[in-house]
Homo-oligomer: A and B are copies of this chain.
């Protein structure tokens, strides 16, 4: 377990948005108002966001959206790799590494709820013989430096 001291920059919401637009464009999909708004809410949040919180935040500008509305946007965005789902929190976070797909690895502070994203190195020692990995969920929960006091 090696501590990591080199800098990991964090993209601004504006940068994230620009990337999202571009990826969407390259894939020939439409970055609609709704999708943009949902993405922005996630990108501007300080931590992982829950689907029903997004739902609340869409009101009243987008009428009274129902769950499928937000889940469709979430599916779309995660299908393009623009956001990740944090499985153990039932929450969503904007991808900080938007250039190209990668295996995301999260470090989540249980005190301040901050989340750090890394790209996992696929040094998995002990894959069952012949197992073809399609998707990985890697989430670490603990206490961050700031909260250790």
Contacts and interface: CB of A to CB of B under 8 A. Distances in A.
A136 B139 CA distance: 6
A40 to B, nearest CB: 26
A9 interface: no
In this complex, the interface size class of chain A, counting residues with CB under 8 Å from chain B, is 35 or more
Interface in A108-149: 109-110, 116, 118, 121-145, 148
Contact of A148 (B2, B123, B132, B145): B132
Contacts of A137: 87-88, 137-141
Interface in A73-130: 87-88, 105, 107, 109-110, 116, 118, 121-130
A135 B88 CA distance: 11
Most buried by B among A126, A139, A145: A126
A142 to B, nearest CB: 4
Contact of A107 (B107, B128, B148): B128
* Closest 5 pairs (CB-CB, A-B): A130-B145, A4-B126, A87-B87, A134-B142, A137-B139
22 contacts: A1-B123, A4-B126, A107-B131, A107-B133, A109-B131, A121-B125, A121-B126, A127-B140, A128-B144, A129-B145, A131-B140, A131-B144, A132-B142, A132-B144, A132-B148, A134-B143, A135-B140, A136-B138, A136-B139, A137-B139, A137-B140, A137-B141
